[in-house]
């Protein structure tokens, strides 16, 4: 692959990811979950289903522990997460989604389905499934990191 082709592919993937992030975020806000940024959604993705420590969240988001702690504090104030004792590490606190956090996560899933529906209409269900499979092969575990 030529450098210009690689750059075109990179640009297309980044543009698709950016548009997808914005469409999901707009869908979440439209469903009544205001005061959030896309970074919250990336945090929710790590916290579901079993929670995580602030250190785990920092690694997932690619930020410092202090920045992750501030994000957790903000999400606690807004009622999306709560801190609980860690089941195996008495020194750590587990951050878990509250019912409001789970409701927001469900809203994001609905918004994601709306956001990719035009892709399936354009490409067809079969090709969209292949695209999902290929992208999953390329980056099976992320990382899912916000752009501030």
3-class DSSP state of 92: coil
The residues facing 97 across adjacent strands are: 81
φ, ψ of residue 103 in degrees (nearest 5): -65, -40
Cis peptide before 72 (omega within 30 of 0): no
Mean pLDDT of the chain: 90
Say what the pTM is.
0.85
pLDDT tens, residue by residue, 113-143: 999 999 999 999 999 999 999 988 988 776 6
């Amino acid at each position: 692959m030529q450098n210009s082709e690689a750059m075109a592919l990179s640009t297309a993937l980044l543009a698709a990811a950016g548009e997808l992030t914005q469409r999901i975020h707009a869908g979440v806000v439209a469903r009544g979950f205001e005061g959030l940024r896309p970074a919250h959604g990336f945090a929710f993705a790590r916290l579901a289903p079993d929670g995580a420590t602030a250190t785990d969240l920092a690694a997932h988001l690619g930020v410092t522990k202090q920045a992750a702690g501030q994000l957790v504090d903000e999400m606690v104030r807004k009622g999306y997460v709560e801190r609980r004792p860690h089941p195996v590490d008495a020194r750590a606190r587990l951050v878990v989604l509250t019912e409001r956090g789970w409701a927001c996560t469900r809203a994001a899933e609905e918004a994601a389905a709306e956001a990719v529906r035009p892709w399936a209409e354009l490409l067809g269900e079969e090709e969209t499934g292949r695209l999902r499979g290929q992208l999953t092969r390329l980056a099976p575990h992320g990382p899912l990191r916000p752009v501030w």
